């Protein structure tokens, strides 16, 4: 390794690109785990990064992006420069380049498909960017181009330790019958960009998740990978999280026992939101059964299996058709309607999103916190009103009120969501 004084360090790949550096062809930096978008950035930048990752600048421009965020394009540029050392466009270009390079190295897709999937919009832009960055054509980076029918398989890196089995345990008891399946890997059906397909996620055991996609639209591939990365929390930095949580002497043995515990995210944010409402005051098993019935009655059947209904579909449902109390069914319909109309969006600022959820009759703090934790991947979302967490808090900390629990949880910031997962895990292990 070179001496530190001979190296210039940058917070992000986009900042290095803005400074004139190009990605290394030998070590393939595009395969390394990403940096959590919410770490060290403003709320506006975090939301912008999420939208860029969803392709906001592939078809739109910075002005449209800043309008969605409620700021001027100049102010957004200043925030990006301050927090990331790069402009929004450079961040988007780096994202396209890295994903395209990944597809070139790990798949046998045609270069035209690689260009479109990566968000370039045209093969000319794709070729020009590669020539400018690598001083060579995209095709020269692949020795041979053989197109094979079938699955697309990509590797997604994570930082050790990574407790994949704990995530599978969490998803297994919550898997929607007919839509999700959990064995030694995670599998589910989906419809994206109007095309159905399946995705499976397994652990290679050598620092990578293996994401296999069957069917679907090629244009959805980047979106699918982004959803898998969020669902399995691959960009987390375990050392940063544990260093804070182990400072609590009571929590420390729990953290040490289950190293690499991650925050379970969501492949489908709306689906998890419905799950949160269904799960009010019922067991995990009971909520899973109800979710299966909703999928069976209202979902879409495809050649790949059953797909959970979208917000537009559930916004039209008859509350009496759902096997649950009427108030809860009405809450699902109203929440679905507001999501379908854009009144509630998953790209909203966290507090605004939380308030929007609480304005729906039948949705309380526990439900809003659960949705924030999983659908928004908020690492600091803490379910202080959860019955299991309160019971464990009483047993471990001698705490009997939510106010005391919140006060104790202050020392766990900004990783209260992970602390909650350790408390849930402890409860599950002591019951078994």
Q: Residue 412: which pLDDT band, with cuts at 50, 70 and 90?
A: very high
How far apart are alpha carbons 132 and 128 in whole angstroms? 6
What values do phi and psi take at 255, rounded to 5? -65, -40
Q: Is the pLDDT of residue 319 over 90?
A: no
Please give the CATH number for the structural domain made up of 269-431.
Answer: 1.10.340.30
Task: Look at 108-112, 224-228, 411-415 and tell me which has the smallest mean pLDDT.
Answer: 108-112
Residues forming beta bridges with residue 196, ordered by sequence position:
191
Q: Is the pLDDT of residue 78 over 50?
A: yes
Q: Residue 385: which pLDDT band, with cuts at 50, 70 and 90?
A: very high
Place of tokens 């895990």: 425
pLDDT reported for residue 38: 55
pLDDT per residue over 336-358, tens digit each? 999 999 999 998 888 899 999 99
Nearest partner of 175 among 55, 284, 77, judged by Cα: 284
How far apart are alpha carbons 210 and 399 in whole angstroms? 42
Q: Is the pLDDT of residue 97 over 50?
A: yes
pLDDT reported for residue 31: 84
Q: Is the pLDDT of residue 39 over 90?
A: no
How far apart are alpha carbons 57 and 88 in whole angstroms? 8
Q: Residue 207: which pLDDT band, with cuts at 50, 70 and 90?
A: very high
Locate 106 and state its tokens.
Answer: 């790990």
According to CATH, where is 1.10.340.30 located in the chain? 269-431
Locate 128 and state its tokens.
Answer: 């020009």
Q: Residue 88: which pLDDT band, with cuts at 50, 70 and 90?
A: very high
pLDDT reported for residue 273: 98
- Mind spelling out the 3-state secondary structure of the chain? CCCHHHCCCCCCHHHHHHCCCCCCCCCCHHHCCCCCCCCCCCHHHHHHHHHHHCCHHHHCCHHHHHHHHCCCHHHHHHHHHHHCCCCHHHHHHHHHHHHHHHHHHHCCCCHHHHHHHCCCCCHHHHHHHHHHHHCCCHHHHCCCCCCCCCCEEEEEECCCCCCHHHHHHHHHHHCCCCCEEECCCEEEEEEECCEEEEEEEEECCCCEEEEEEEECCHHHHHHHHHHHHHHCCCCCCHHHHHHHHCCCCCCHHHHHHCCCCCCCCCCCHHHHHHHHHHCCCCCHHHHHHHHHHHHHHHCEEECCEEECCCHHHHCCCCHHHCCCCHHHHHHHHHHHHHHHHCCCCCCCCHHHHHHHHHCCCCCCHHHHHHHHHHHCCCCCCCCCCCHHHHHHHHHHHCCCCHHHHHHHHHHHCCCHHHHHHHHHHHHHHHHC
% residues pLDDT > 70 (the chain): 97
pLDDT reported for residue 2: 87
According to CATH, where is 3.30.310.20 located in the chain? 152-235
Q: Is the pLDDT of residue 147 over 60?
A: no
Place of tokens 């181009």: 145
* Cα separation values, 426 from 75, 81, 125, 280, 391, Å: 45, 42, 52, 21, 11
State whether CATH 1.10.10.60 applies to domain 4-141. yes
Q: Residue 145: which pLDDT band, with cuts at 50, 70 and 90?
A: very low
Residues 235-263 as b/e (b if ≥16 CB within 10 A, e otherwise) read bbebeebbebbeebeebeebbeebebbbb
Q: Is the pLDDT of residue 57 over 50?
A: yes
Give me the chain's average pLDDT, please. Answer: 92
Q: Is the pLDDT of residue 410 over 80?
A: yes
Q: Residue 34: which pLDDT band, with cuts at 50, 70 and 90?
A: confident
Q: Is the pLDDT of residue 359 over 90?
A: yes
According to CATH, where is 1.10.10.60 located in the chain? 4-141
Give the pLDDT mean for 283-304. Answer: 95
Give the pLDDT mean for 227-242. Answer: 95
State whether CATH 3.30.310.20 applies to domain 152-235. yes
Q: Residue 143: which pLDDT band, with cuts at 50, 70 and 90?
A: low
Task: Look at 39-43, 160-164, 179-183, 407-411 and tell me which has the smallest mean pLDDT.
Answer: 39-43
Full-model pTM: 0.91
Q: Is the pLDDT of residue 59 over 50?
A: yes
Q: Which residue has the higher pLDDT, 148 or 247?
A: 247
């Amino acid at each position: 390794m070179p001496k530190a004084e001979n190296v210039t360090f940058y917070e992000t790949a986009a900042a290095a690109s803005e400074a004139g550096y190009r990605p290394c062809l030998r070590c393939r930096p595009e395969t390394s785990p990403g940096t959590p978008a919410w770490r060290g950035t403003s709320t506006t930048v975090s939301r912008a990064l999420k939208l860029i990752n969803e392709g906001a600048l592939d078809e739109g421009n910075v002005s449209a992006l800043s309008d969605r965020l409620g700021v001027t394009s100049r102010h957004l540029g200043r925030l990006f420069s301050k927090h990331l050392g790069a402009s929004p466009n450079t961040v988007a270009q780096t994202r396209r380049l890295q994903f395209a390079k990944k597809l070139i190295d790990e798949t046998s897709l045609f270069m035209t498909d690689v260009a479109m999937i990566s968000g370039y919009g045209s093969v000319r832009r794709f070729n020009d960017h590669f020539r400018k960055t690598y001083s060579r054509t995209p095709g020269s980076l692949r020795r041979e181009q053989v197109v094979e029918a079938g699955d697309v398989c990509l590797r997604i890196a994570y930082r050790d330790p990574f407790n994949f089995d704990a995530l599978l345990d969490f998803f297994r008891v919550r898997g929607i019958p007919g839509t999700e399946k959990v064995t030694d890997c995670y599998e589910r059906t989906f419809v994206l960009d109007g095309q159905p397909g399946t995705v499976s996620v397994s652990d290679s055991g050598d620092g990578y998740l293996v994401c296999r996609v069957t069917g679907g639209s090629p244009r959805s591939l980047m979106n699918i990978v982004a959803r898998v990365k969020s669902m399995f929390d691959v960009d987390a930095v375990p050392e940063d999280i544990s260093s804070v949580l182990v400072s609590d002497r009571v929590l420390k043995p729990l953290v040490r026992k289950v190293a690499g515990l991650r925050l379970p995210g969501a492949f489908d944010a709306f689906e998890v939101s419905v799950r949160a409402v269904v799960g009010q005051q019922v067991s995990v098993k009971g909520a899973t059964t109800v979710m299966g019935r909703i999928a069976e009655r209202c979902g879409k059947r495809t050649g790949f299996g059953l797909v959970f209904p979208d917000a537009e579909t559930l916004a039209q449902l008859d509350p009496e058709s759902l096997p649950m109390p009427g108030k809860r069914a009405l809450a699902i319909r109203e929440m679905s309607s507001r999501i379908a109309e854009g009144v509630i969006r998953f790209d909203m600022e966290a507090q605004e999103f939380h308030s929007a959820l609480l304005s729906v009759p039948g949705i309380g703090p526990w439900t809003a916190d659960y949705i924030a934790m999983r659908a928004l991947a908020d690492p600091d979302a803490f379910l202080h009103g959860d019955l299991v967490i309160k019971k464990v808090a009483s047993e471990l900390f001698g705490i009997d009120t939510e106010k005391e629990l919140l006060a104790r949880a202050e020392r766990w910031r900004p990783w209260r969501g992970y602390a909650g997962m350790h408390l849930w895990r402890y409860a599950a292990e002591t019951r078994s």
